[in-house]
Amino acid sequence: ADKIMHAMLETDSGFTLMGADTPPGMEHNPGDNVAVSLSGDDTDELRGYWQKLSDGGTVSVPLEKQMWGDEFGACVDQYGISWMVNVAAPSA
């Protein structure tokens, strides 16, 4: 009941950084009960962040084009933090 669905920060470089509590029905493990989402449209920069975040961690969804048109990937970094990276598809 007293959880945060999303917290959002817009960066100066145009990226959106979001955080969320563990949703109901998912196992809660102290220390890894948050997920961070990084999204934007700078492909090279976001792929660079993805490489650094996933290096030494565990990739659950490879960063690749998804059915909705964006590139998306999910991983747990070497410190146990869950990350989602979304690269917006270029506008037509």
Give the pLDDT confidence of 61-91 residue by residue, as tens digits: 999 999 999 999 999 999 888 899 999 987 7
Q: Measuring CA to CA, which residue among 71, 90, 84, 1 is closest to residue 38?
A: 84
User: pTM score, two decimals?
Assistant: 0.73
Map tokens 């563990």 to a residue: 22
Using alpha carbons only, what angle is made at residue 69 by residues 52 and 65, rounded to the nearest 5 degrees? 40
Does residue 19 have a pLDDT over 70?
yes
Indicate left, alpha or beta for 61 from its phi (over 0: left) and psi (-120 to 50: alpha).
beta
Q: What are the boundaries of each domain within the chain?
A: 7-87
Task: Write down the pLDDT at residue 27.
Answer: 77
Task: Write down the pLDDT at residue 79.
Answer: 87
What CATH class has 7-87?
alpha beta
Residue 92: band (very low, low, confident or very high) from pLDDT cuts 50, 70, 90: low
Residue type, 36: V
